[in-house]
């Protein structure tokens, strides 16, 4: 395996597909000293003062400071966040030969905004400075199954996850399934156009079995 070249691995999928759960513990199936998870919505020790200031603006501890801003302003701030995270957090890790795993990244954000009505040429322009992943792992057991599974374990989806900006008259099971299905279809379209290798899992496997398959796909990509 080439230890001089880092890899950016992007786990994608609809809300509730299990991305975060799969990422937790994934490192046990990879080289621990080379494996690093970067959460795009929160940071531990990663990041400069600039990164932390922008993070605090977008995701404050006490309230949603972006809620009062016009929609276009929120989108631009999210684009600035991914660009800054690319340059100051992820790029140095890749230069050090790390395998960096992100839970949702560029194409998820673009697909979500495209479904919400933003034109794709505009999205490509404002997100142009974001690092492209070496491999996308797409988890898609289906929106209906995800909703049923969430209901069984008591999880409640938020308004955005149920299509708050999708023009639905009522938010609930039907809007979630329709919105998330539209989202993942747009996500697939963007990934097809990008030419980035995609490893897709549609089966509803156990967490451990999914981690093993994802780790195997990452090792294969790293070996090429």
Over residues 67-120, the pLDDT tens digits come to: 555 677 888 988 998 998 899 889 999 999 999 999 889 999 999 999 988 999
- Give the integer Cα–Cα distance in Å for 157 and 218: 30
Q: Which residue has the tokens 């040429």?
A: 121
- Residues 183-223 have pLDDT tens digits of 999 999 999 999 999 999 998 889 999 999 999 999 999 88
Largest CA distance in the chain: 52
pLDDT of 1 reads 43
CATH number at residue 183: 3.40.50.300
- Residues 5-52 have pLDDT tens digits of 799 999 999 999 999 889 888 888 887 778 888 876 655 555 567 777
2 — pLDDT class (breaks 50, 70, 90)? very low
Q: Is residue 2 part of a domain?
A: no
Q: Is residue 174 part of a domain?
A: yes
Our count of domains for the chain comes to 1
* Structure tokens, 89: 């957090």
Q: Specify burial of residue 135 (Cβ count, 10 A radius: 0-12, 13-18, 19+).
A: buried
CB 157 within 8 A of CB 183: no
> 48 lies in which domain range?
7-223
Q: Is residue 77 part of a domain?
A: yes
Q: Is residue 122 part of a domain?
A: yes
- Give the integer Cα–Cα distance in Å for 84 and 27: 25
Mean pLDDT of 152-174: 91
């Amino acid at each position: 395996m080439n230890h001089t070249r880092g890899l950016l691995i992007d786990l994608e999928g609809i809300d509730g597909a299990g991305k975060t759960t799969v990422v937790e513990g994934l490192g046990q199936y990879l080289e621990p000293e080379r494996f690093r998870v970067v959460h795009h919505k929160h940071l531990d020790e990663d990041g400069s003062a600039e990164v932390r200031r922008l993070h605090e603006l977008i995701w404050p501890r006490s309230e949603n400071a972006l809620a009062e801003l016009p929609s276009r302003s929120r989108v631009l701030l999210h684009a600035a966040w991914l660009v800054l995270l690319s340059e100051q957090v992820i790029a140095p890790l890749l230069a050090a030969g790390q395998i960096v795993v992100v839970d949702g990244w560029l194409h998820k954000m673009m697909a979500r905004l495209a479904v919400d009505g933003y034109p794709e040429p505009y999205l490509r322009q404002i997100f142009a400075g974001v690092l492209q992943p070496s491999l996308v792992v797409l988890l898609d057991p289906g929106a209906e199954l995800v909703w049923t599974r969430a209901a069984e374990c008591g999880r409640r989806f938020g308004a955005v996850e149920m299509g708050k900006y999708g023009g639905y008259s009522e938010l609930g099971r039907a809007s979630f399934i329709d919105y998330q299905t539209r989202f993942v279809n747009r996500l697939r379209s963007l990934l097809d156009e990008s030419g980035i290798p995609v490893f897709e899992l549609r089966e509803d496997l156990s967490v451990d079995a999914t981690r093993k398959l994802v780790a195997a796909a990452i090792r294969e990509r790293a070996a090429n």
